[in-house]
Structure 1
Amino acid sequence: MAYTPELSMYPACGNSIEEVVKDMQMISQLTNKIRLYGADCDQSALVLEAIKRTKIDMEVWLGNYVMPGEDEAYARQRDAIQAAIKKYGTKHIGGITVGNEYMLNYLTSQGLSSPDINTAAGDVGAATLIRYIDDTRTNIEAMKLDKTIPIGNSDAGSFFNNLVLAKIDYGLSNVHPWFANTTIEAAPQWTWDFFDEQNVTPATAINPNIEMYIAETGWPSGSKDVANESNGFASASVADLQTFLDLFVCKSNDDGVKYFYFEMFDEEWKDLQFGGVEGHWGLFDKHRKMKNLKLPTCLLKS
């Protein structure tokens, strides 16, 4: 499950252990694997402390969210992650993800797009991301921990640079059929096909030991404005969210597709800042009340 503790936006940092404990208790009823996006506002420590207090079986992929040109933000989060590991150990850590949509943001800032990802121009941005990845690995190895922690990267499905893929233990790919102008009935198959063709096959050709996950996939249940309630053949509604859950979750579990569902709760700040469907991807609303959904009876593995 994709998860960010509420009010974890730096530097305001209004999150709290009490709320994270409540969230972990809810999330643990659906899955035993979550991914975080960043480490600011003590997210890593708060989640690990909540796991400790509730004694739940949860594996966490910690995250370092950094934008191009933000060396200070990278270092701040790197240090926060290391401090959390020193305090709570490695038992509940599945990996450390360095960057989320870093290459997408880098290319966009340069006026480039996905076809440029493996050109000389794309490799310039990749060089900085690789520096962060190498630095994370070096610092984690220097801690001489009781187990090896995989180091990975997350990006939009079409924005994985080959040089980056060669450097990581795992890749998390954001694969959203909503943006593909597909029907809700075709959305699960589109997701599986895209992930296999655009991510798994090319990544393993470059790095045979890499593990590839769908980092985000889901369906919006609504929109802040009427203009964005549809996208091609797609409709943002609770009914279509239900259809996506029915068609995607159990078959993905049965087929061994590694994925993190996007997401547990609606995020109000996205609704306020971006509008459209951005704040409406949760299985639960912003008040932690489940939408009018029937969850699949198979296990949500991640």
Structure 2
Amino acid sequence: MSSSPALPSRSTWPAWLLLVLAAVAGLGWWWSAGRPVNLPDAPSTRIACVSYAPYRLSGETPFDPHAFISPARIDEDLRALSQRFDCVRTYSQGQGLSAVPAIAQRYGMKVLMGIWLDRDARANAREIAQGIANARAHPQALRGVIVGNEVLLRGELSPKALTADIRQVRAAIPASVPVSYADVWENWLRYPHMAAAVDYLTIHILPYWEDAPVSPEHAVRHVARVYAQMQRAFPGKRVMIGETGWPSEGRPRRAAVPSVVNEARYLREFLAYAATVKMPYNVIEAFDQPWKRTQEGTVGGYWGIFDAQAKPKFPMRGPVTEVPRWWLGWLA
């Protein structure tokens, strides 16, 4: 007489139960990550301006003194970006980026051209000279020249030295090209006299990075409050948001949680708000920047609208999925 199959002993049941529960939990997580989330559509699939840094490939970094981005590579990037953006913002003249204005003109794009400043006086002089030459050569391509980016925040120049650099550029380039300086919004309130040196203010409002981080659900309301505050603080001066955005990956800061869905939500809601007040703006940024992870942690590398392979992370209209093709992760 054949014996019946042996049943698991009572002592093994908890282990089996834990495995089943873990499998169900894993399936639930992947299903949740792959579930389409309905979000308000952006008012348009086009965006006014986006920060452009080409250092998206493995090992590329602006801190490499020998780095050089070829005109062909910049041309490829701008040709693709011109399908979605009217303008790009750059941050420096070196490493091949001085070619951006001429190439952008080919695709009908404008440029917020950056001149990088830090504590290195010789490097600053080279950047300023190259920026002046570029502005003189391509004034029609420029929406503005931004002399210095968060150099006061980093404490690398004094307001007096920065003002001198800004005024040097202002005096040397065509009057038709406005000149600005870019920093976090609090620093404009901290150094209000800097406003006299620029044609317009360029402020950065990044709800994720605020001292009191703002949740994605309240982020655009925060931006609107800050923008209105800055307009009141500097009456008669045009105010441009030079950086705003949301990360798609990285550590949460209290209620400020990075995710693809939250990045899409923030960008769509911000664009809707910007359209209602008709303000100039630039979003950060075109491509994910892997090199920033060493400076800012994982989150620093994931502010791009496109990933490091130049693929869009999400659509501007319709539902958004945190992890497309989520079942591949489950099967793995």
Bin the TM-score by the shorter chain: 0.7 to 0.9
Q: Does 2:291 match 1:269?
A: yes
Q: CA deviation at 1:218?
A: 0.6
Q: Does 2:247 match 1:220?
A: yes
Structure 1, residues 146-197: CA drift from partner, whole Å, max 9, x if none?
Answer: x521111000110011221111101111101112322211111111111221
User: Do 1:222 and 1:237's aligned partners in 2 also have CA atoms closer than 8 Å?
Assistant: yes
**Residues 12 and 296 from structure 1, CA distance in 2 versus in 1: closer, same or farther, beyond 3 angstroms?**
farther
- Give the structure 2 partner of residue 79 of structure 1: 129
* Distance in structure 2 (CA, Å) of the matches to 1:48 and 1:64: 13
Structure 1, residues 19-72: CA drift from partner, whole Å, max 9, x if none?
Answer: 21121112212221221111122312x2123224xx2111111111112x3221
- Give the structure 2 partner of residue 234 of structure 1: 256
Aligned residue type for 1:139: A
More relative contact order, 1 or 2 (CA 8 Å, 6+ apart)? 2
Give the TM-score of the pair, scaled to structure 1: 0.80
User: Do 1:8 and 1:43's aligned partners in 2 also have CA atoms closer than 8 Å?
Assistant: no
* Distance in structure 2 (CA, Å) of the matches to 1:37 and 1:201: 28
- Give the structure 2 partner of residue 129 of structure 1: 162
* Distance in structure 2 (CA, Å) of the matches to 1:231 and 1:265: 22
- The percent of aligned pairs where both chains have the same amino acid is 25
Q: Does 2:218 match 1:196?
A: no
- Give the structure 2 partner of residue 295 of structure 1: 316
Q: 1:92 aligns with which of 132, 137, 141?
A: 141
**Residues 245 and 274 from structure 1, CA distance in 2 versus in 1: closer, same or farther, beyond 3 angstroms?**
closer
Instruction: Number of aligned residue pairs: give it.
Output: 260
- Give the structure 2 partner of residue 48 of structure 1: 101
Larger-Rg structure: 2
Q: RMSD of aligned C-alpha atoms?
A: 1.9
The gaps in structure 2 that reach 5 residues or longer are 1-49, 319-332
Q: Does 2:265 match 1:211?
A: no
Q: Does 2:151 match 1:102?
A: yes
Aligned residue type for 2:311: K
- Give the structure 2 partner of residue 159 of structure 1: 187
* Distance in structure 2 (CA, Å) of the matches to 1:139 and 1:190: 37
**Moved segments of 4+, more than 4 Å:** none
Q: Does 2:207 match 1:177?
A: yes
- Give the structure 1 partner of residue 322 of structure 2: none
Q: 2:305 aligns with which of 278, 283, 286?
A: 283
